[in-house]
Amino acid sequence: MSRRPVHVKINGVEREGYVEPRKTLVDFIREDLELTGTHVGCEHGVCGACTVLLDGEAVRSCLMFAVQAEGCEIRTIEGMAGPDGQLHPLQEAFRDNHSFQCGFCTPGFMMTAAALLEEGPLSEEDLRHELSGNLCRCTGYQSIVAGVMDAFGRSTPAAGQAADAATEAAR
């Protein structure tokens, strides 16, 4: 099958590949770019394990072809920590709240949550709705919700108070 070039900027680095048009974005990221932090859980867009940020939006990389990402900016879990290894507040919050066990779904939750952080704090109920596109089989979700709520507070102190207020208001 013929191949086509694909150029992306992933975690700040320009990369190119040469792929069959039928190759999914997640397979391109994992196999061609060798960034295996993004996981494949269902290949039909339900579990959210393959979620990445594409031009800032959380998308399922199993439901896109690599060639559709031509020229796009992609962020994956490998791009969350700083270049010095300093964890992102979201990573710290996940760690401190025991927000994962086996860790297979974690990259997807992390990228979904990263997009949510950009939009500002949510009430716990709204957050649960926002996270309902990602499946976790280990935790029962409570610790993931706690982790993201905590991260809302860590990004800026004001955001934390707003999150508390939003939760309070929802109750």
Backbone angles phi, psi at 35, to 5 degrees: -105, 95
Q: How far is the CB of 143 from another protein (least distance, A)?
A: 6
Radius of gyration of the chain (CA): 17
Classify the C-alpha dihedral 97-113-90-69 as positive or negative.
positive
- The CA dihedral of 102, 43, 93, 167, to the nearest 10 degrees, is -120
Q: At its nearest, how many Å lie between another protein and the CB of residue 94?
A: 6
Pick between residue 34 and residue 71 the one whose CB is nearest to another protein: 34
| Nearer to another protein (CB atom), residue 82 or residue 158 | 82
Minimum CB separation of residue 159 from another protein in Å reads 21
Put the strands of the sheet holding 51-54 in their side by side order: 13-19, 4-10, 73-75, 51-54, 57-60
Amino acid at 161: Q
Nearest to 2 by CA among 22, 16, 17: 22
Please say which residue, 132 or 161, places its beta carbon nearer to another protein. 132
The DSSP H or E segment spanning 81 is none
Least distance (Å) from another protein to the CB of residue 151?
A: 12
Contact 134, 47 (CB under 8 A): yes
Q: In angstroms, what is the minimal distance from the CB of 41 to another protein?
A: 5
Give 37 or 71: the residue with its C-beta nearer to another protein.
Answer: 37
Nearer to another protein, 18 or 158 (CB): 18
Residues that bind another protein (CB under 8 A): 20, 22-23, 30, 34-44, 46-47, 49, 76-78, 80-81, 87, 91, 94-96, 98, 100-107, 110, 127-129, 131-145
